[in-house]
Structure 1
Amino acid sequence: MKLRKRSFEQIEVDTHKMTEKEALKLIPRKLYKYYPINEFTFKVLTEQAIYFSKPSGFSDPFDCKLNINFGKSTIQINENLNHYFPQLVPLLDKTDIFNGSFKTTKEINQFLNTLVLSILDMQMGVTCFSEVRDSPLMWAHYAHSHSGICLEFDMKTPSFFRDNLIPVMYFDKYPVYSMEEYKSNGLGNLLTRMMASKSEDWDYEFEWRCTTEKGGAKTYSFDKALVTGIIFGINCPEDQKTKILEILQDLNYCNCIPYQADMNSSKFKIDIVRY
């Protein structure tokens, strides 16, 4: 596992073992969300609602690829499923996994991991935030070549977003989690951890994810008071800036401060200044 360089410097984060108070202390005061300029971005501002994707909607096919160890023997697997994951038992009645359908416990574990991934896709929704607002790569990838915007959200005020955040951890190979480690919180906590495991190739994003068990492929509302800033990209057109500023004023985004992203004059970096 690759250690994070910002909020989690020299800390090996294992949030399921933390108290709520300890976990909240790790959440950055501000988190950021990049957008291109299009009709969906305008809807975010006008309807105060953010889209939550299903895991299958992620652009990275390696995302959420985590291995759960359900047990080292068929007896242990069966006991763990019945004790900690009774939700899965009715789904397994027709598979006959303990009576010869699979030759090894490895095959059983592989089958159960596939099943859990399917459940994850049906019941979980996720949206992504970043700790950084000045990443040239993120402006290029998520804000249409620096022509979009980046919204700044307050994450210290209690909200649906803050209360459902989990930090993304980055790995060079698929992480393996023993079911025994998560037995106190069961399937929900394991699914949440699966939602926040990515390849270390993405570690520059310093990502946090807000997750919900109410489903993905739909939007969830937020309080516009949580939006404390908007950053216009280097290439954001002036007419779009004017349109967005009018929306913010008309809808009384009273906490939102406008900023401009500028090219630094001597380094390959972005400066953020008041607009």
Structure 2
Amino acid sequence: MWPVDQYGAILMCEVWVDELMGMISGRELSLDAIRSAQDLKYANFPVSLYKYRVVNQYSLSNLANATLYLAAANAFNDPYDSAVSFDPLFGETYAGSLSDAIGLSAERRSEILNGPDPMRAVLEEMLKVSGQVVESAQLDVIQSVMSERHEVMKAEIVTGMNERLRSSYKVCSLTERLDSLPLWAHYADNHKGFAMEYDFKNLPFDNIMSYMLWPVRYRGIFNAADMLKGVRVGMNFNNLFALVAALHKSSDWAYEQEWRLVLPDGEAEQARNFDAPLKAVHLGTNISSDDERLVRESARIANVPVFKMRLIPHRFSMESVG
């Protein structure tokens, strides 16, 4: 189910996931496309998904109340989580945009942009229009400053959009893996925590959690240029492009085999808990007796069974046992 690249890294690049992303990544988005995408992912829901937790008052509350907490993406450990990439000029050069601003003829514009130093040539044209005379050394400084400032401006546009996106969408990360040693180490306090098991597959199609649950695609940061190019107020627009961004991550994270609950509810809305289909809880191999008692008590309130992970040293693996 999980293909690997030439270095042996797990990649979630199944045909159905690519097909799913194609359905929701178009410049415009129809209701039929959304319904088809929901149908496709619902048919591919895993039998179980897991949430690794450290033992604390928040995780014990989620366990006892059978809930999951959706947080803003800017609170996550991946600085690129839910971010997009795009060129604010959409392929146009700085020299090209400046040449448009001073109204050059098509012939002269083409000549400049195909010349050896388009930026320098455009600046010289701008000086001609203004009637100013600037020495070559001064023009070198002007060109350098303008080019540097332009790059800063482009970065600020992309950064500003990503800050808004990452604070707007609320996300909860889950995984198909219960037997992942790194996940237990990274997210469950070095095996001293626990993992909550959820059954989304048996939820009704029209349940809000079914709508919010999506697979992650490990193809790097999402390039939104095709979606954003030429967009104007009042135009039809795929307003779920930020959802697509939230479902793209670097292949460095592919070992997590992640699914995500994603809620596009805006910056003003607070992160919060949602009822979730809790199925069982699994204790880490290094959990303390005191923490085990607390987890078992919360599981009793939630009325779900408790299992414990067991190491299998000769296989360098682990399994959950009753």
TM bracket (short chain): 0.7 to 0.9
Query: What is the deviation of 1:200?
Result: 1.1
Q: Please say which structure displays the higher CA radius of gyration.
A: 2
Query: What is the deviation of 1:140?
Result: 0.4
Whole-Å Cα distance in 1 between the matches of residues 237 and 179 of structure 2?
38
Local SS of the residue matching 2:179: coil
Q: How does 1:124-203 map to 2 (within 5 A)?
A: 124-156=169-201, 157-158=203-204, 159-171=207-219, 174-180=221-227, 186-203=237-254
Q: How does 1:216-255 map to 2 (within 5 A)?
A: 218-223=271-276, 226-249=277-300, 251=301, 253-254=302-303
Residue pair 1:66, 1:197 contacting (<8 A) in 2 also = no
Whole-Å Cα distance in 2 between the matches of residues 193 and 150 of structure 1?
27
Deviations 1:27-56 (A, max 9, x none): 212111000111111121234443222121
Q: How many residues align?
A: 241
If each structure's strand is expressed as a fraction of its own residues, which one has the higher value?
Answer: 1
Whole-Å Cα distance in 1 between the matches of residues 281 and 153 of structure 2?
49
2:47 to 29, 35, 53: 29
Whole-Å Cα distance in 2 between the matches of residues 72 and 218 of structure 1?
37
Deviations 1:96-152 (A, max 9, x none): xxxxxx989998865543332132134211110001111000000100010110000
Residue pair 1:49, 1:219 contacting (<8 A) in 2 also = no
RMSD of aligned residue pairs (Cα, Å): 3.3
Mapped pair 1:43 → 2:50 = no
Residue pair 2:66, 2:278 contacting (<8 A) in 1 also = no
Amino acid of the structure 1 residue aligned with 2:213: L
Deviations 1:162-196 (A, max 9, x none): 2212221223x544234349999835321011112
Q: TM-score scaled to structure 2, two decimals?
A: 0.64
Local SS of the residue matching 1:261: strand
Pair 1:47–1:199, CA change in 2 (3 A): same
Whole-Å Cα distance in 2 between the matches of residues 15 and 105 of structure 1?
37
Q: How does 1:29-108 map to 2 (within 5 A)?
A: 29-68=47-86, 71-72=90-91
Structure-2 residue corresponding to 1:15? 20
Residue pair 1:130, 1:206 contacting (<8 A) in 2 also = yes
Which range moved further: 147-156 or 181-190? 181-190
Residue pair 1:151, 1:229 contacting (<8 A) in 2 also = yes
Pair 1:29–1:185, CA change in 2 (3 A): farther
Q: TM-score scaled to structure 1, two decimals?
A: 0.74
Gaps of 5+ in 2: 24-32, 94-145
Runs of 4+ in 1 over 6 A off after TM superposition: 102-109, 181-185
Local SS of the residue matching 1:61: coil
Local SS of the residue matching 1:186: coil
Local SS of the residue matching 1:198: coil
Whole-Å Cα distance in 2 between the matches of residues 222 and 138 of structure 1?
24
Structure-1 residue corresponding to 2:133? none
If each structure's helix is expressed as a fraction of its own residues, which one has the higher value?
Answer: 2
Whole-Å Cα distance in 2 between the matches of residues 146 and 229 of structure 1?
17
Gaps of 5+ in 1: 75-101
Whole-Å Cα distance in 1 between the matches of residues 86 and 55 of structure 2?
40
Which range moved further: 150-159 or 214-223? 214-223
Deviations 1:185-230 (A, max 9, x none): 835321011112222111100011111122565222204xx11111
Whole-Å Cα distance in 1 between the matches of residues 291 and 308 of structure 2?
13
Structure-2 residue corresponding to 1:212? 263
Residue pair 1:263, 1:271 contacting (<8 A) in 2 also = yes
Mapped pair 1:119 → 2:124 = no
Local SS of the residue matching 2:178: coil
Amino acid of the structure 1 residue aligned with 2:79: P
